A and B are shown apart, each in its own frame.
Chain A
């Protein structure tokens, strides 16, 4: 199909104006950072439109043009704002020269079917740009936090040293703070002691409930399901206040078991939902067949049913774990200072002293979550492949 689509050079009015529009967008960001967004739009549009025209009509050689604009914009960047701007300028130079030639030579159509109308081509790329923008929007706040956690100062500030990439502006002291402070270590220990136990309880009760509720003969299934899922739907602060008064009366408030039970109650709905979803595809005749062969219901469950619904159980357990690990509202009510968890410690840290130690912890948590999810996903794929269940 690739070879079938003929490509041809596009008119100047088309690609210069598209590059100018992209330049205006880049100019908006640069201009806003420098103080005037409007000026940035105008300068960006004119400069990048002119660059595209010169590259394709005057220089014509793609390699030379690309390197030329990388160097040119890097120098302009350096003169305007030092080393960080140099890097940004070089990236801009690379992108806009590539973008100009890509449009000019019509290469953008090469991978598309030849029968697409211009409107469909436009939508094809607009869709990708929108998806990319959403991704950037979701992930930027997390990425911004990471370099700040290596700040040498005690504030949430990109210092001039950091922007100059001066090693003196960076340090690991907030990571040391985290590992040396007894407050943070206690909080970490509490979180690590609470979350897995709460997860085990959620997974156990949630899976049993889901299996029970999937039996057609259980009366009031929908009502029971609604009650079990309610902790997920009721605003957290209401559950928390209710639990506080209830647990206080029965002596569970401020105890380790109280927090574990509260978190288990929050985690159960996630397990029920994911396990119910996998049970929909479960063939009941398998359990009948197992019974026919003389297996007890418990043996049937562990040997036949459990392996088949395992992906649902694991992802439900993962959600339950993350819920407990991230939870701050309920633990503020149900826990006492002795059960201070990591999110609690981060919360008071943010309020009382804005210290980048919080960012160091956040970075570590992000890294751990990514590793955890990747491992689980790999394990899941491996077990599916081994059992020949993989769709691919």
Chain B
């Protein structure tokens, strides 16, 4: 009798508890991402599975990651945050965190621990580059080239410096319309040692040197600003080689069957991940937290690698990546023979200054 009563009471309590929990969670979630193949991989790997578990949740996508910083500032100013979860690159996350627009979080509390039992903090390790940043994947910016436009008698380009070698490899190049990565590559090919690049780039003379090196190919450069530009230019045969994100090149080569080859040399690693905007109300925050715990667990991050060739940010996900995708990962040993480490702190300090110089140089 007593036992039954207790049982009943506890069932009632837990029922009340779960109802209360459910009430606290908003059923609408606006997720901001990049569109294209990348957003599709997120949809397939964790948004759709999450919606299967929680059919009441309605997800709206906003493809605004490109201007996330500006838009979040405007939302903050207007006092009306309409986004729940925002996908940004690491440098934007650092900026948003510094400005107080992104929420700081406790990794071991918010994120699930790895399948092998490692704590979330250890599993993501150094990739948590900011207190607000929840990394998802590692991608790289690297070059692709038209295999059918390699000049007669020349080898297919395998070295970053062939970008600056107009004699052996004539033709147009596509480079991103910003100094990041381009300045580093220019210095590397102007005889600066890899570990000294950022020291040199910190000096005005070093910046001049990098721009002078870029100046040698300036007439043959088409500047791009959206990730889709270089694939289009390569498919058109408009350029011989161009830089873009490795996943875009993967899609051009493997899915669209274009005659394009990868040149992994001196690829620059970068991160992509989530931030939660500061100032969400309780119900929305609870939903986001519930989602993020699921979406960044070991299996989900490994699943994402099935759909796009970006490496999962969790160490424990690496063994679960399908074999046939491993060879396309920027982190695969065959591809990562010579990589370049992007220096967040350097660019946080020097970005505005070098940006101004770069844009002035472009306009000359």
Contact = CB atoms under 8 A, between A and B. Distances in A.
Nearest to A339: B60
**Which residue, of B62, B63, B232, has the highest number of chain A Cβ atoms within 10 A?**
B63
B80 interface: yes
Contact of A354 (B37, B60, B80, B228): B228
Contacts of B36: 352-353
Interface in A337-373: 337-338, 340, 348-349, 351-354
Contact of B80 (A153, A155, A254): A254
Contacts of A248: 78-80
Contacts of B231: 155, 354
Contacts of A354: 228-229, 231-232
A248 B74 CA distance: 10
Contacts of A352: 34-36, 63, 226-228
B26 interface: no
Interface residues of A, number: 22
B30 interface: yes
A156 interface: yes
Nearest to A154: B256
A356 to B, nearest CB: 11
Contact of A155 (B34, B60, B62, B256): B256
Contacts of A155: 231-232, 235-236, 256
Nearest to A333: B74
A245 interface: yes
B227 A153 contact: no
B61 interface: yes
Contacts of B77: 245
A253 B235 contact: no
A336 interface: yes
Interface string A142-162: 000000000001111100000
A352 B248 CA distance: 11
A183 B229 CA distance: 22
**Which residue, of B32, B34, B227, B232, has the highest number of chain A Cβ atoms within 10 A?**
B232
Contacts of B236: 155-157
B335 interface: no
A360 B171 CA distance: 32
Interface in B36-63: 36-37, 60-63
Contact of B82 (A183, A254, A340, A351): A254
Interface in A235-265: 244-245, 248-249, 253-254
Interface residues on B, range: 20 to 34
B37 A353 contact: yes
Contacts of B61: 183, 337
A353 B30 contact: no
Contacts of B64: 337, 348
Interface string B76-89: 01111010000000
Given A153-B256, A336-B62, A353-B36, A253 B229 contact: no
Interface string A94-110: 00000000000000000
Nearest to A183: B61
A351 B226 CA distance: 6
A244 B228 contact: no
Given A244-B78, A254-B80, A353-B36, A337 B62 contact: yes
Given A155-B236, A336-B30, A351 B256 contact: no
A337 B82 CA distance: 9
A352 B35 CA distance: 6
Contacts of B78: 244-245, 248-249, 253
A353 B74 contact: no
A238 to B, nearest CB: 14
**Which residue, of B30, B32, B74, B80, has the highest number of chain A Cβ atoms within 10 A?**
B80
Given A248-B79, A338-B60, A156 B232 contact: yes
Given A244-B74, A248-B78, A354-B228, A337 B30 contact: yes
B66 interface: yes
A340 B62 CA distance: 9
A182 B165 CA distance: 46
Given A336-B62, A352-B36, A352-B226, A253 B232 contact: no
Nearest to B234: A155
A253 B60 CA distance: 16
Interface string A275-312: 00000000000000000000000000000000000000
A292 B35 CA distance: 65
Contacts of B256: 153-155
A253 B74 CA distance: 12
A156 B30 CA distance: 31
Contacts of A157: 232, 235-236
Contacts of A245: 77-78
B78 to A, nearest CB: 4
Interface in B63-78: 63-64, 66, 74, 77-78
Contacts of A337: 30, 32, 60-62, 64, 82
Nearest to B229: A354
B88 to A, nearest CB: 15
A244 B231 CA distance: 35
A273 B205 CA distance: 60
Interface in A168-224: 183
Nearest to A241: B74
Nearest to B257: A153
A156 B232 CA distance: 7
A337 B256 CA distance: 29
B235 A153 contact: yes
Nearest to A159: B235
B232 A348 contact: no
A245 B35 CA distance: 26
A188 B20 CA distance: 38
Interface string A54-86: 000000000000000000000000000000000
Given A254-B82, A353-B37, 13 more contacts: A153-B256, A155-B232, A244-B78, A248-B78, A249-B78, A253-B78, A336-B60, A337-B62, A340-B62, A348-B64, A352-B36, A352-B63, A352-B227
15 contacts: A153-B256, A244-B78, A248-B78, A249-B79, A253-B82, A337-B60, A337-B62, A337-B82, A338-B30, A340-B62, A348-B64, A351-B35, A353-B36, A354-B228, A354-B232
List 8 tightest A-B contacts by C-beta distance, closest first.
A352-B35, A337-B62, A248-B78, A353-B36, A155-B235, A248-B80, A348-B63, A352-B36
